[in-house]
Amino acid sequence: MTDLSTEFEKISDKAKAATNNVHAASQHTRDQLAADAARARDKATAAANHLKDNAVDTHNKASSHWQEIRAKWKAHVAEVQTRLDDKADKLDARAASVDADISESYARDAIDFAQAAVEEAEYAALDAMYARADADELQTDHASGL
């Protein structure tokens, strides 16, 4: 069994690394920001693909609700990345400003989603730990004849 508390720590580690990257990027040039964004996009794509891979691997165990969320998130990430790639071709300052507003709004939405996902992950981890403790106690009671 995987130690859920150790897995949960990975969330704060990733969040801290992302925070450091965003803070550092505030000092980068436009070209450096383009490279930063490309690297982050690749990591986000890999993470979305990992969710899909995990969903396929554990299809029989996972609820259909989570399967649907994973699929929608992967599709959403692909759609936004395509839109962001397309905007690079635009030279109009007004369109660029609108694209920047949309990108900032998307970033806020993604941050809100991540925060909600952390809350859900905490609940899921604690509930799983409780369920395991409950099962262990019931098995102990059954084995001792209670």
Domain assignment of residue 15, yes or no? yes
Going by pLDDT thresholds of 50, 70 and 90, the confidence category of residue 1 is very low
Domain assignment of residue 52, yes or no? yes
Domain assignment of residue 5, yes or no? no
- For residue 121, the enclosing domain spans 11-143
Domain assignment of residue 51, yes or no? yes
Domain assignment of residue 90, yes or no? yes
In contact, 94 and 76? CB cutoff 8 Å: no
Domain assignment of residue 41, yes or no? yes
Total domains in the chain come to: 1
Domain assignment of residue 3, yes or no? no
5-9, 81-85, 132-136: the lowest-pLDDT one:
81-85
| Per-residue confidence (pLDDT) for residue 20, from 0 to 100 | 92
DSSP state letter for 140: H
| Per-residue confidence (pLDDT) for residue 38, from 0 to 100 | 86
In DSSP notation, 96-125 reads: HHHHHHHHHHHHHHHHHHHHHHHHHHHHHH
Amino acid identity, position 76: H
| Per-residue confidence (pLDDT) for residue 124, from 0 to 100 | 80
Domain assignment of residue 20, yes or no? yes
Question: C-alpha angle with apex 123: 121 to 129, nearest 5 degrees?
Answer: 100
State pLDDT tens for residues 102-141.
Answer: 889 888 888 888 888 888 888 888 888 889 889 999 998 8
Q: Does the predicted TM-score (pTM) go above 0.75?
A: no
